[in-house]
């Protein structure tokens, strides 16, 4: 059973083949409510909308074809409140018919990643985020109670393969958590040094995964992914791009931490949302702003990937 579980591939997220086929046939329109899908526009607007529909269909079809033969790994970085931008990334992936077969999360990314691996949709995760006072989750007991409410008790209860990344203290060695108790694994991945005591698992003192692996592209690859989509909300890439520097450029790379360079190398698609200041307080409009930033960055990165592969 375990070997079957770890051989999960693209499209095996617990939905029927018919349901997945129907979802991918639907066209996402640029007008109307942001979350609404429809097969065609109203009759009165149909002629005027045909070019837009054709472009949308070609984009969706091309993206599905591009990733159809790949086992997609989704790597979600740490980043505190900025990690809620991962919800927008999940929204964009769903809109393009892309279902990750493997998910790896560090710190805040482990929270969103575990929820996705448990079969939660981006809409459900947004609703959970809207009803949560996120500063409370800096407390380990509060975070584990949160996980107990919204997640299975163990990794075995997840619908997709998932790993949470923690850092061993004091060596700062990366520890990949993939089995056993799930709430304590997420808690360890989010245990901010100086603010939290280490989480003890199997005799190891574990703290925030950002100590060793802030963007878990390499663990996602090692899980079996043949294509890694990395969502980086650390802010490094977005700041560099804001001042006209590409983080993957050789002249820039040499100044980056070694672990971050390895993460960039392992990512096939790098998504680096530009988080607005309002997103640093993820309540109400701030939450929507940070989710929108993640979605916009993911759509742009996927579009660029499609163009490069054309």
- Cite the active site residues: 107, 208
Nearest Cα to 98, choosing from 176, 13, 41, 163?
13
Nearest Cα to 266, choosing from 108, 10, 75?
75
DSSP-based three-state secondary structure for 219: helix
Q: Are 298 and 238 contacting, i.e. CB atoms less than 8 angstroms apart?
A: no
Alpha carbon dihedral 247, 253, 256, 258, in 10-degree steps, equals: 120
Q: Are 76 and 45 contacting, i.e. CB atoms less than 8 angstroms apart?
A: no
Phi, psi of 242 (to 5 degrees): -65, -25
Work out the number of other CB atoms within 10 angstroms of the CB of residue 213.
Answer: 29
Work out the angle at residue 158's Cα, subtended by the Cα atoms of residues 152 and 160, and round it to the nearest 5 degrees: 160
- C-alpha 252: how far from chain center: 25
Residues in the chain: 310
Q: Which helix (H) or strand (E) holds 229?
A: strand 227-231
Number of H helices, E strands in the chain: 13, 8
- C-alpha 83: how far from chain center: 9
Q: How far is CA 254 from CA 8, 257, 268, in A?
A: 36, 8, 19
Tokens read off for 80: 């505190």
Running DSSP on this structure, what letter comes out for residue 70?
A: S
C-alpha span between 307 and 310 (Å, rounded): 5
């Amino acid at each position: 059973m375990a070997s079957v579980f770890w051989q999960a591939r693209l499209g095996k997220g617990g939905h029927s083949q018919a349901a997945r086929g129907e979802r991918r046939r639907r066209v996402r329109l640029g007008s109307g409510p942001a979350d609404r899908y429809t097969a065609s526009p109203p009759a009165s607007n149909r002629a005027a909308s045909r070019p837009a529909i054709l472009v949308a269909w070609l984009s969706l079809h091309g993206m599905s074809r591009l990733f159809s033969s790949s086992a997609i790994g989704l790597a979600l970085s740490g980043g505190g409140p900025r990690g809620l931008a991962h919800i927008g990334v999940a929204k964009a992936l769903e809109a393009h018919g892309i279902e990750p077969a493997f998910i790896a999360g560090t710190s805040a990314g482990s929270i969103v990643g575990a929820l996705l691996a448990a079969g939660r949709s981006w809409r459900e995760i947004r609703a959970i985020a809207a009803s949560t006072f996120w500063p409370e989750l800096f407390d380990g007991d509060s975070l584990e109670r949160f996980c107990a409410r919204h997640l299975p008790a163990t990794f075995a209860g997840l619908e997709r393969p998932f790993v949470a990344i923690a850092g061993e203290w004091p060596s700062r060695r990366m520890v990949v958590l993939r089995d056993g108790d799930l709430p304590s694994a997420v808690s360890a991945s989010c245990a901010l040094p100086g603010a939290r005591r280490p989480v003890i698992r199997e005799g190891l003192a574990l703290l925030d995964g950002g100590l060793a692996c802030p963007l878990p592209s390499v663990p996602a690859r090692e899980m079996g992914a043949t294509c890694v989509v990395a969502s980086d909300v650390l802010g490094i890439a977005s700041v560099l791009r804001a001042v006209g520097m590409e983080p993957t450029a050789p002249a820039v790379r040499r100044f980056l931490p070694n672990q971050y360079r390895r993460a960039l190398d392992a990512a096939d698609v790098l998504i680096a949302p530009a988080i607005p200041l309002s997103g640093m307080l993820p309540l109400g409009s701030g939450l929507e702003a940070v989710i929108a930033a993640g979605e916009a960055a993911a759509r742009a990165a996927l579009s660029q990937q499609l163009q490069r592969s054309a």
